[in-house]
């Protein structure tokens, strides 16, 4: 597994499955949006070979050429999504999960009925433009990882109990069970109702909030791909501080005017200092001063049952490699250990063959990227204990014989947080 350069070029195609009519095409190059579009002949060929297979009752799911990986996926026999990536060594797992998130984003903002019962293609094309911002954020070099892990990106605030109490009180006053605090697309605190949201909306809603341009208050119609794919709800977003949003999921009431500004000021004005302490948590995820080993360049902690994760590549300030490279390394390592080494995650369709095979599944693994000569080659280590899985990116100075011990110590220190 290499470092995969700059991320390569990604093309995402969406077509009406029955007619093959393209609904949209989005592209990114090196993690940034790109205007480069695929020729219509290429789009037609990619869809044609997929439809040809279906007519023969053959499911074409992925293919590799010398420099491109292609993944196809159909949804409800109505929408076909195709992704092409030139990123070196990219896995089908990562591209499959990307397509799942893209379709979830389409349902979130357009609704399942419009996608499964296409009456007017041109109108659907126009409606789908509302999802471009969210979809483009999946194609880019995001600081989040929930699109890949299918877990909610979270942060740990210094005064979590105080914020949780205020959140519960505000939710009761606003007469809704679904309220959360979100900083830069990551959940700081949430009500029990919000945490009970299913996938993929539990990941998509904070991601949507983080992808939208700043605005004091918003009243946004959304569908819940799992919980309510055909009936819209209202997502109310109230900016408490720059990049810190209070989010409510509700029905026709309450009106936005009832919450802003009177109710908002009553509950949150006294908590300005704890709220300000949340702002640096975006890239760091952990409170300032949390004890971490100095060799740790990045970490990903997953709670596989709660479907929540902590992800940071800036735990202890700036060192090489760059944050973008660190994110890429951890993403690639996650796909490797998830698809190759560790047992299936709760809720996944894969089943182990028998109890003997289950007993033989590994609980830890490590990888050295580069050379094993002393002082060179970053280390990646993964450890699973119970329902928690920890992935660490470590500096070249970290000795390989101490990786499991360091990961175990770090996981025990993080366990009370998630």
What residues are paired with 327 via a beta bridge?
Answer: none
Residue 280 has pLDDT above 60, yes or no: yes
The region of weakest confidence among 271-275, 337-341, 402-406 is 337-341
What is the tens place of the pLDDT at every residue in 322-360?
888 999 999 999 999 998 888 666 555 544 444 434 556
Written as six digits, the tokens of 173 are: 């006053």
**Residue with structure tokens 């204990």?**
385
Q: Is 76 left (phi over 0), alpha (psi -120 to 50) or beta?
A: left
Question: For residues 258, 260, 265 and 268, what is the CA-based torsion angle, rounded to 10 degrees?
Answer: 100
Mean pLDDT of 306-325: 85
Residue (of 91, 95, 15, 76) closest to 49 by Cα position:
15
Q: What is the rounded distance in angstroms from the CA atom of residue 176 to the CA atom of residue 354?
A: 45
Do β-strands 152-154 and 308-312 pair in parallel, antiparallel, or remain unpaired? Answer: parallel
What is the tens place of the pLDDT at every residue in 241-252?
999 999 999 999
Report yes or no: 60 and 37 within 8 Å, Cβ to Cβ. no
Q: Which domains does the chain have, with CATH numbers?
A: 10-140 (3.30.450.70), 157-284 (3.30.450.30), 296-341+362-415 (3.30.450)
Residue 391 has pLDDT above 90, yes or no: yes
One DSSP character per residue, 272-285 reads: HHHHHTTTTHHHH-
- CB contact set of 403 (below 8 Å; sequence gap of 6+): 366, 379, 381, 392, 394
Sheet hosting strand 296-303, strand order edge to edge? 217-224, 228-241, 244-250, 178-183, 186-190, 152-154, 308-312, 296-303, 388-394, 378-385, 364-369
What is the tens place of the pLDDT at every residue in 221-242?
999 999 999 999 999 999 999 9
For position 371, what pLDDT does the model report?
A: 64
pLDDT grade for 260, boundaries at 50, 70 and 90: confident
For position 318, what pLDDT does the model report?
A: 60
Instruction: Considering only residues 369 and 34, tell me which one the structure prediction assigns the higher pLDDT.
Output: 369
Report yes or no: 152 and 181 within 8 Å, Cβ to Cβ. no
Q: Is 197 left (phi over 0), alpha (psi -120 to 50) or beta?
A: beta
For position 283, what pLDDT does the model report?
A: 85
Instruction: Considering only residues 175 and 349, tell me which one the structure prediction assigns the higher pLDDT.
Output: 175
For position 352, what pLDDT does the model report?
A: 42
**Residue with structure tokens 């479907």?**
307
pLDDT grade for 301, boundaries at 50, 70 and 90: very high
Q: What is the rounded distance in angstroms from the CA atom of residue 16 to the CA atom of residue 118?
A: 8
The region of weakest confidence among 32-36, 261-265, 291-295 is 32-36
Residue 39 has pLDDT above 50, yes or no: yes
The region of weakest confidence among 29-38, 136-145, 343-352 is 343-352
Based on its alpha-carbon atoms, the radius of gyration of the chain, rounded to whole angstroms, reads: 22
Report yes or no: 79 and 16 within 8 Å, Cβ to Cβ. yes
For position 56, what pLDDT does the model report?
A: 79
For position 393, what pLDDT does the model report?
A: 95
pLDDT grade for 21, boundaries at 50, 70 and 90: very high
The whole-model pTM stands at 0.91
- CB contact set of 299 (below 8 Å; sequence gap of 6+): 292, 310, 311, 312, 315, 330, 390, 391, 392, 393, 410, 414
For position 299, what pLDDT does the model report?
A: 96
């Amino acid at each position: 597994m290499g470092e995969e350069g700059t991320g390569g070029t990604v093309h995402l195609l969406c077509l009406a499955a029955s007619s093959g009519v393209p609904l949209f095409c989005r592209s990114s190059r090196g993690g940034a949006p790109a205007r480069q579009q695929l020729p219509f002949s290429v789009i037609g060929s990619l869809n044609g070979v997929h439809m040809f297979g279906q007519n023969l009752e053959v499911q074409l799911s992925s293919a590799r050429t010398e420099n491109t990986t292609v993944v196809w996926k159909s949804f409800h026999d109505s929408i076909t999504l195709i992704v092409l990536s030139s990123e070196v060594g990219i896995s089908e797992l990562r591209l499959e999960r990307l397509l799942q998130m893209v379709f979830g984003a389409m349902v979130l903002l357009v609704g399942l009925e419009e996608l499964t019962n296409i009456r007017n293609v041109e109108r659907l094309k126009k409606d789908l433009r509302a999802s471009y911002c969210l979809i483009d954020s999946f194609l880019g070099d995001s600081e989040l990882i929930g699109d890949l892990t299918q877990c909610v990106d979270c942060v740990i605030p210094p005064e979590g109990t105080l914020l949780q109490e205020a959140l519960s009180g505000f939710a009761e006053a606003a007469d809704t069970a679904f309220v959360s605090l979100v900083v830069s697309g990551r959940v700081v605190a949430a009500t029990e109702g919000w945490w009970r949201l299913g996938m993929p909306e539990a990941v998509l809603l904070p991601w949507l909030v983080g992808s939208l341009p700043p605005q004091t208050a918003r009243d946004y119609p959304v569908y819940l791909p799992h919980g309510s794919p055909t009936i819209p709800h209202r997502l109310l977003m109230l900016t408490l501080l720059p990049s810190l949003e209070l989010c409510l999921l509700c029905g026709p009431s309450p009106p936005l005017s009832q919450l802003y500004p009177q109710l908002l000021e009553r509950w949150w004005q006294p908590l300005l200092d704890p709220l300000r302490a949340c702002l640096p948590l975006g890239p760091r995820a952990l409170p300032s001063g949390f004890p971490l080993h100095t060799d740790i360049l990045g970490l990903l902690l997953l709670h596989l049952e709660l479907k929540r994760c902590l992800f940071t590549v800036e735990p202890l300030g700036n060192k090489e490699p760059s944050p973008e490279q660190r994110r890429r390394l951890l993403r690639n390592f996650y796909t490797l250990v998830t698809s190759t080494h560790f047992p299936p995650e709760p809720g996944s369709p894969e089943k182990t063959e028998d109890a003997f095979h289950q007993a033989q599944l590994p609980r830890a693994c490590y990888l050295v990227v580069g050379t094993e000569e002393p002082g060179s080659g970053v280390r990646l280590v993964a450890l699973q204990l119970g329902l928690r899985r920890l992935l660490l990116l470590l500096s070249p100075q970290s000795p390989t014989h101490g990786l499991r011990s360091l990961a175990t110590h770090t996981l025990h220190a993080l366990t009370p947080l998630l």
